[in-house]
Amino acid sequence: MAKQTQSAKAAEKPSAEANIFEWVEMVVLSACLILLVFTFVLRPARVDGNSMQETLHNGEMLLISDIAYKPQRGDILVFQKINSTHPAPIVKRVIATEGETVDIDFDTWTVTVTDVNGEAHVLEESYRKLATDARVTSNLEYPVKVGEGQLFVMGDNRNHSLDSRSSSIGLVDENEVIGKVLFRFFPFNKVGTVR
């Protein structure tokens, strides 16, 4: 009886090959799950340039998502212009959405957005950086009405940003949006949400 119990216990104990197989299976399944998440839920994006300072800096890495995302004023998003001279993904802040009107006073840098109900809102932009070594204006006529399915975006570093104020970028089509910035994961000393 004792011999049968010992052989039953020995049969229940997994072999080294079985342990290795289970470990490999766990690693492969984990890698597949991570790949699915980064393909369909979250995507990495890199900040390229200084147009979003002081909020974001060149070389920082972000996680973005477009799952059930509808752009809102104040969001930071990543888009890619279709058929443009700027093929790389671009990071900017949403200033106005479809049906809204943007007016900019280039002397005081006051941005006023009139919503679809006709109410004017002077934006309080604590994130905005104004440098004194350059002065970006615009080659558009103001006020600018944002068309259906479009966005007006600007960089936080207003004097060093190529954005919707320039006809080379112009209004951004919502179909060009890759996703909303959710999280900064590099550099490690700045890990966290982004506003």
Q: Select which of 7, 92, 145, 180 is catalytic.
A: 92
The closest of 150, 42, 24, 157 to 92, measured between CA atoms, is 157
Q: Select which of 51, 129, 164, 180 is catalytic.
A: 51
Q: Is 51 an active-site residue?
A: yes
Distance (Å, whole) CA 132 – CA 89: 27
Contact 93, 76 (CB under 8 A): yes
Contact 9, 3 (CB under 8 A): no
Distance (Å, whole) CA 96 – CA 75: 10
Q: Is 70 an active-site residue?
A: no
Distance (Å, whole) CA 36 – CA 155: 31
| Cis geometry, peptide bond prior to residue 187 (ω within 30 degrees of 0) | yes
Active site residue ranges: 51, 92
